[in-house]
């Protein structure tokens, strides 16, 4: 056991809604920025979002096309593996369900797993079943305003029922896969699935 | 996809700031070590590379091309290292040698 | 204690540090003088990791630059209290003599300087970025006993602070410069309200200021820049643009808020 420093208490949640906090988390009121690389600044004129199936078939939307699709709004809590949780965040974007319907019209076939691929090279893997039925979206509005670059703007993946490293910033592509593959953090000690309610932070956590 | 990547970023630190975390792994201070980026081939001191660090881990990127040279993460039971972004790492065995930069 | 120059590479472990003395440097900055049994010595510019553990096991750590010279008997850390700082508000508030915490180091072989380096020394500091640079100046004063030796290794410090009351080590810097016959020059720039009758720089660091303070690139000064990221980045770019070899420019960014 490490040496205990007299009188040190650290940051404690003032009035944690403890029933809403996953195990090991504390509430924050701010929105910390965690990045694995420099903030990309892709001009909207060059931005697009792609779904790619296992046969290499693509469904692609440019910024205007994405914005023209039916929108979905979500108020949700988010949980970072570094132990902060933020309650009641407000998002707007296009649900993965909507995008998959559009993709199916263009002949794409689903697959059980996905890899989100982002500007700057970040990746994260999410089972398709964790993105459908309203569980995931491509989000581009946060608290009523365009998503700021440091928080993933122009658009990020939002999958709030999993640890927030799965809500990949600067997402550009969702690659459908037959088998699960580890993304950026999942290949470096973090849990392949990442359920905050079962505290699945690290590789090997049950 | 590296389109539009910003070269300068307020969240970035120098590789020197990763010295504590990296020292756990290498049993010595490796910020004077020189790593060769597998992407662009340039060689630089780890201390001079671009560091993005937060509670999940540390990512060291080449100062020239921003490609990932080293990734480090600490979990309760392990230290994880991915050095596949560096072709080689040269760690000086005599720490008193000058001009580590 | 003399600096061990040829120390073998060794595992850096957590050690116990006891606060021997507390010095209030400014209203928001404090120096802790520490007893660290087994301290292996350090080089000017290095830092330590400080780890705090609460009674329930909660733990967190931060990095702080070592303020003391390698020649000093004890390790000194100078810490700025940040408004939202979990660790800095504890170390700049609650703690007193006799308190203990864990410390690991010295760390960092890149941003270091000692008198064996040839060439003039140019230091650029923003706010609490002065700390590792002060270790360098203290080392220079301790290691170069006579004026001839110091004349061979001139040093200049450009130090940016918001207000005169924010300047850390103010009196000591004045004393070091006064005792060094112009071979150590300390130039302050104050970016907010200057003191009365101020005839020094009164603006953010810019290219003209750097050009005025620095030696010509042909002199090949060793350059160390430390402070908030935007200041460090700007100064490094400008000094490079002025013709200084970027291999001689070393930076330590303290992050967007200006301290770790």
pLDDT digits (tens, 9 = 90+) for C33-77: 999 999 999 999 999 989 999 887 777 888 899 999 999 999 999
What is the distance between the alpha carbons of residues A109 and A136, in angstroms, rounded to a whole number?
A: 18
Token duo for residue A24: 């090991």
- Average pLDDT of C171-199? 91
The percent of residues above 70 in pLDDT, for chain C, comes to 93
pLDDT value of position C256? 52
Alpha helices in C19-169 (DSSP H): 88-89, 130-143, 147-151
Which residues does chain B have with pLDDT short of 50? 1-8, 97-101
DSSP 3-state percent helix, strand, coil across chain C (nearest 5): 25, 30, 45
Give the strand pairing for B34-37 and B43-45. antiparallel
Among A37, A61, A59, which Cα is nearest to A47's? A61
Q: Is the pLDDT of residue C15 over 50?
A: yes
pTM for the model:
0.66
Token duo for residue A66: 């994405």
Is B16 touching C (CB cutoff 8 A)?
yes
Subunit contact B1:A187, Cβ cutoff 8 A: no
pLDDT value of position A125? 98
What are the distances in angstroms from CA C146 to CA C2, C139, C140, C152, C213?
Answer: 17, 13, 11, 10, 24
User: Tens digit of pLDDT for each residue in C87-145?
Assistant: 898 999 989 999 999 999 898 888 999 999 988 999 999 999 999 999 999 999 999 97
Chain A CB contacts of B74 under 8 Å are 189
Q: Please tell me the distance in Å from C227's CA to the nearest CA on chain B.
A: 11
Higher pLDDT, B53 or C24: C24
Q: Is C47 left (phi over 0), alpha (psi -120 to 50) or beta?
A: beta
Subunit contact B75:A189, Cβ cutoff 8 A: yes
- Which stretches does DSSP call E strand in chain C? 14-24, 29-35, 47-53, 59-65, 75-80, 100-107, 121-126, 155-161, 184-190, 222-227, 249-253
State chain A's mean pLDDT as an integer: 92
pLDDT value of position A96? 96
User: Tens digit of pLDDT for each residue in C223-256?
Assistant: 999 998 889 989 999 999 999 998 899 999 876 5
State chain C's mean pLDDT as an integer: 89
* Model confidence band, residue C10 (pLDDT cutoffs 50, 70, 90): low
Q: Is the pLDDT of residue C153 over 70?
A: yes
* Model confidence band, residue A14 (pLDDT cutoffs 50, 70, 90): very low
Q: Please tell me the distance in Å from C121's CA to the nearest CA on chain B.
A: 14
CB pairs < 8 Å spanning A and B: 95
**H/E element, B69:** strand B68-74
What is the distance between the alpha carbons of residues B85 and B81, in angstroms, rounded to a whole number?
A: 11
Q: Is the pLDDT of residue C4 over 80?
A: no
ipTM exceeding cut-off 0.90 for this assembly: no
The percent of residues above 90 in pLDDT, for chain A, comes to 75
Which chains border A (3 or more CB–CB pairs < 8 Å)?
Answer: B, C
CB atoms within 10 A of CB B31: 27
CA dihedral A174→A180→A181→A183, nearest 10 degrees, is 50
User: Tens digit of pLDDT for each residue in A64-97?
Assistant: 999 999 999 998 999 999 988 998 899 999 999 9
Subunit contact A10:C52, Cβ cutoff 8 A: yes
Chain A CB contacts of B14 under 8 Å are none
- Average pLDDT of A45-51? 97
pLDDT value of position B10? 52
Subunit contact B31:C108, Cβ cutoff 8 A: yes
Nearest CA in chain C to B25: C11
Say how many Å lie between the first and final Cα of chain C, rounded. 28
Q: Is C159 left (phi over 0), alpha (psi -120 to 50) or beta?
A: beta
What are the distances in angstroms from CA A82 to CA A165, A167, B44, C21?
Answer: 10, 14, 30, 34
């Amino acid at each position: 056991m490490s040496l205990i420093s007299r009188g040190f208490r650290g940051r404690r949640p003032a009035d944690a809604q403890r029933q809403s906090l996953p195990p090991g988390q504390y509430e924050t009121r701010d929105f910390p920025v965690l990045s694995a690389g420099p903030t990309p600044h892709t001009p909207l004129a060059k931005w697009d979002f792609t779904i790619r199936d296992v046969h290499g078939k693509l469904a692609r939307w440019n910024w205007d096309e994405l914005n023209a699709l039916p929108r979905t709004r979500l108020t949700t809590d988010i949980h970072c593996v570094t132990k902060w949780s933020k309650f009641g965040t407000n998002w707007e974007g296009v649900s993965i369900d909507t995008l998959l319907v559009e993709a199916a019209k263009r002949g794409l076939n689903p697959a059980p797993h996905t890899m989100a691929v982002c500007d700057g090279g970040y990746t994260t893997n999410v089972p398709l079943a964790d993105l459908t039925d309203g569980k995931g979206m491509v989000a581009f509005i946060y608290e009523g305003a365009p998503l700021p670059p440091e928080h993933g703007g122009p658009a990020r993946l939002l999958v709030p029922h999993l640890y927030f490293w799965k809500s990949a910033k600067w997402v550009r592509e969702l690659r459908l896969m037959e088998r699960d593959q580890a993304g950026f953090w999942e290949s470096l000690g973090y849990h392949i699935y990442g359920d905050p309610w079962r505290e699945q932070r690290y590789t090997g956590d049950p | 996809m590296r389109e539009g990547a910003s070269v300068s970023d307020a969240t970035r630190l120098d590789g020197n700031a990763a010295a504590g975390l990296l020292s756990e792994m290498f049993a010595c201070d490796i910020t004077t070590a020189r790593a060769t980026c597998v992407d662009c081939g340039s060689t630089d001191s780890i201390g001079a590379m671009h560091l993005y660090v937060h509670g999940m881990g540390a990512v060291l990127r080449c100062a020239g091309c921003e490609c990932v040279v080293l990734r480090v993460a600490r979990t309760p039971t392990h230290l994880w290292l991915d050095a596949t972004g560096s072709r080689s790492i040269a760690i000086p065995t005599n720490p008193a040698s000058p001009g580590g930069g | 204690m003399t600096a061990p120059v040829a120390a073998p590479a060794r595992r850096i472990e957590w050690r116990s540090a006891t606060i021997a003395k507390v010095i209030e440097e400014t209203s928001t900055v404090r120096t802790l003088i520490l007893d660290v049994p087994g301290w292996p010595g350090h080089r000017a510019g290095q830092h330590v990791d400080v780890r705090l553990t609460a009674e329930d096991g909660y733990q967190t750590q931060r990095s702080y630059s070592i303020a003391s010279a390698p020649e000093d008997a004890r390790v000194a850390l100078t810490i700025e209290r940040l408004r939202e700082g979990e660790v800095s508000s504890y170390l700049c508030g609650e703690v007193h003599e006799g308190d203990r915490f864990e410390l690991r180091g010295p760390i960092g072989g890149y941003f270091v300087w000692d008198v064996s380096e040839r060439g003039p020394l140019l230091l650029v500091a923003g706010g609490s970025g002065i700390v590792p640079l002060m270790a360098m100046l203290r080392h220079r004063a301790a290691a170069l006993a006579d004026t001839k030796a110091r004349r061979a290794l001139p040093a200049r410090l450009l130090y940016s602070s918001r207000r005169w009351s924010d300047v850390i080590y103010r009196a000591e810097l004045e004393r070091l410069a006064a005792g060094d016959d112009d071979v150590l020059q300390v130039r302050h720039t104050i970016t907010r309200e200057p003191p009365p009758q101020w005839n020094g720089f009164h603006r953010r660091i810019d290219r003209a200021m750097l050009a005025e303070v620095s030696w010509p690139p042909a002199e090949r000064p060793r350059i160390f820049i430390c402070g908030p990221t935007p200041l460090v980045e700007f100064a490094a770019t400008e000094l490079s643009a002025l013709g200084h070899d970027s291999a001689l420019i070393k930076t330590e960014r303290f992050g967007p808020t200006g301290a770790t």
